[in-house]
Amino acid sequence: MAARAIETAAAEGPIPEPAPTHGDCVITANGAYAARLARGDDGDSWFPERWTLDGPEPYAVPLPGNQPEEPGTQVHPMADGRVLIRRFTDGRHAFSLLYPTGPDTGELPLGAVECPDEGTGLRLLPPAPCGERAYALAVGAYTTSVWLVAGGSFGPEHLAEIPGRCSGGVWLDRTGRMLALDREIAGRTKTVVVDLERGGEVSPLLQIAADSDDRLLLADPDSGLLLIASDAPSPGETRLGWGVLGSTLPVRFPECLRLPGLVLTPFAIQPGQMLLPEACAVALRIDGPFGAWVGVWRPGERRLLQLAAPEGWLTGSGLWTPQGVLRLPYATGAEPCGVAPLSVPVAPPPEADAGDGSAASAEAAGPVPPTACAPRPIPLQQAPLGGLVTN
C-alpha cells in the first residue's frame, strides 16, 4: 500500500509539493457551495474561503486559521456548508473540516494519511455527487490508492488499491459509486471504472485504439455525455472528442474543437438533459498566448462559440443550470464575490451535408441518438461490457 491512515494531526515543517492554481475554486455537484484559497491583505498569504451560490446573491465567508495556509493546500466544499481542507506536512496529508463560528473559524480534525513511499503524492478528487463524502487519490510508483477522507466513520478509510499509476477522476453516477480514473500501464493510458461498493473492482471504460492514450475529462450522468482526450485520430496530437455511455457508436472528434496554438479544457456540462447528449451545452476553458477565455459547444451544433470571460474570473470554474445558463464565479477588488450568468442560445440545426468532425473509425461523425435505456459505462471501441454497472 502506498499510504496509510494515522489519527494524529500534522506537525510543522511542510515538505514542498506542486502548488495549485490558487485563483480557481471548487464547486459542489449541486452548485450550492464553492471553496477556494483567497489571497490575504498582504498579497503573499492565503486563507480558505467558502462561497454560497444558491441564494439570491452569492456571498463569501472567510475561514482563516491561526496562520496562513502553505502552498499545496487544497480546499473542498461539502454539501452542508463546511469546507474540507488538506494540509501537507512532514510527509502526511492532514484533513480537517472548517466552519464559521461567529467571527472565528471552527476546525474539526479528521485524521491524516501518511505517504511513506518516496514519490507518492495525494490529492483530493472532484466533489462526490452526494456532497456528504470526500475522496482522495494517492499515487505511488506502481499502484494507486483511493481513500475516503471525509464522511466515513473512523477518519480516513482506505477503499481500494489499483495496479498502475492513475490520474484524473470523474464520477459516472449520482450516488458516488462508479469512479472513472485514467490508468497508465506499460506506457499507455486508458480510462478504467472503479466500483467503490465492490471493493474497488476495476473494469475498462475507454479502449479507442490499442496504441492510443485515452483519458476521460468530464461525464454527465443525466445525458450520458462523455468528454474525452485521445490521440487515436491523430497520433502524437491529443484531440478532444465525445461519446455516450451505453452507445456502441465510435467516439467523435469534432474539427471545431481543434484550435492550433490553443489549449481547450472542458470544465462543465449542462445537467438535466435526460438521454439527450447532443443537446447538452459544454463549457470549455481556452488558453492562449494572451490569457484565458470561455468556449461553449454543443455536440449537435458542431460549432464552438468563443466568449470573453468576466473580469476576475476564477479560471476554469463554473457550472451550468438545467435551463442552459452558465454561471461563472469571479472576484475583483470592487466585487470580491460575484457570479456572472451567461445565456447561450441554441443554434439552428446544421446542414445535412455539413461535417466538421472525424471519428476513430470510418463512420461519419454526427449526433449520437439517445439510447432507449439508462446509460452504462462501456469500452468505447466496439461493444459494451455486459454487467459492468448495476445501479
CA dihedral sign, ordered 71, 76, 80, 81: positive
Q: Using an 8 Å Cβ cutoff, are 325 and 288 in contact?
A: no
What mean pLDDT do residues 70-99 have?
Answer: 94
| Cβ contacts of 30 within 8 Å, gap of 6 or more | 54, 79, 131
Residue 365 pLDDT > 50: no
C-alpha cell at 19: 502548488
- Express as a percent the part of the chain with pLDDT over 90: 72
Strands 157-163 and 143-150: antiparallel
pLDDT of residue 3: 56
pLDDT value at position 90? 83
pLDDT tens track for 50-67? 999 999 999 999 999 989
For 163-194, letters b (16+ CB in 10 Å) and e give ebbbebbbbbbeebbbbbbbbbeeeebbbbbb
On whether the CB atoms of residues 192 and 210 are closer than 8 A, the answer is no
Contact between 123 and 75 under an 8 Å Cβ cutoff? The reply is no
- DSSP result, 243-264: EETT--SPPEEEGGG--TT-EE
Instruction: Give me the pLDDT at residue 313, please.
Output: 97
CA-to-CA distance for 118 and 98, rounded, in angstroms?
30
C-alpha closest to that of 153 among 138, 171, 167, 133: 133
Rg (CA), the chain: 21
* Position 384 pLDDT exceeds 50: no
Distance CA 264, CA 280 (A): 17
Mean pLDDT of the chain: 85
At residue 27's C-alpha, the angle toward residues 221 and 332, to 5°, is 140
| Residue 49's pLDDT band (cuts 50, 70, 90) | very high
Q: Over range 4-33, report the average pLDDT.
A: 56
Mean pLDDT of 119-128: 91
- Confidence band, pLDDT 50/70/90 cuts, at residue 157: very high
Close Cβ partners of 334 (under 8 Å, ≥ 6 residues apart): none
* Res. 376: pLDDT tops 50: no
Q: Region of 232 please: left (phi>0), alpha (psi -120 to 50) or beta.
A: alpha
Cell numbers standing for residue 211: 496504441
Length of the chain: 391
3-state class percentages of the chain: helix first, strand second, coil last, to nearest 5: 0, 45, 55
Sheet strand arrangement including 282-288: 263-269, 282-288, 291-297, 304-307
What's the mean pLDDT in 256-262? 96
Q: Which three cell numbers stand for residue 344?
A: 447561450
Count CB atoms within 10 A of the CB of residue 347: 12
Amino acid symbol at 361 = S
HSE, side-chain direction, 13 A CA sphere, residue 106: 7
Residues 356, 255 contacting (CB under 8 angstroms)? yes
Opening angle at CA 159, ends 153 and 160, nearest 5: 175
Gap between the Cα atoms of 223 and 277, Å rounded:
5
**Distance (Å, whole) CA 377 – CA 391:** 11
Sheet containing strand 25-27, edge to edge, reads 25-27, 33-39, 46-52, 59-62
